[in-house]
Amino acid sequence: MKTPKKSNNQSSSSSKSNSNSSIPGVQKTSHQYPIFDQWYKTNDWILQRCDTMPKHTRFTISSKIACIALENTDLIIKAIYSKQKITLLSTLNLNLERLRIFFRMCKDRRYISIKQFEYITDELNTTGKMCGGWIKQCKE
């Protein structure tokens, strides 16, 4: 049985990058809310690390970290479209602190390297500063 040849449209679309700018609506979100871009990039890194952690962590710390990271994405999207931004952003800020603690545990148990721990700490701090700035702006 012969496999069908790819049409020109299929082959050219696979060579395009998977950037957010090609998705309608995401580009607008990205430009207006830099925290979205920051967290999207950080979340991708986190999920990649969770995939490479030892298998015995799959249903414990690795899955907990992945769930919190995905919840943060959800909170940012909800905050963009909600009138109750401060409540959502406060939850996001709490979740960032939870991630700091869980990643510290991962470093202590050698699931991630010290260099990876330093990287994620910087990314979480950057996101936390952006979140705090957004909260402050909402209170004004």
Whether 6 maps to a domain, the answer reads no
Please give the Cα distance from 116 to 107 (Å, whole number): 8
Whether 11 maps to a domain, the answer reads no
What are the E-state strand segments in the chain? none
CATH of the domain at 64: 1.20.1440.60
How large is the angle between the packed helices 34-52 and 61-81, nearest 10 degrees? 160
Domain count along the chain: 1
pLDDT in tens, 2-25: 444 444 444 444 444 445 555 555
Whether 129 maps to a domain, the answer reads yes
Whether 97 maps to a domain, the answer reads yes
Whether 112 maps to a domain, the answer reads yes
pLDDT in tens, 70-128: 999 999 999 999 999 999 999 999 999 999 999 999 999 999 999 999 999 999 999 99
Please give the Cα distance from 54 to 33 (Å, whole number): 35
Supply the range of the domain harboring residue 82: 33-139
CB 66 within 8 A of CB 47: yes
Whether 13 maps to a domain, the answer reads no
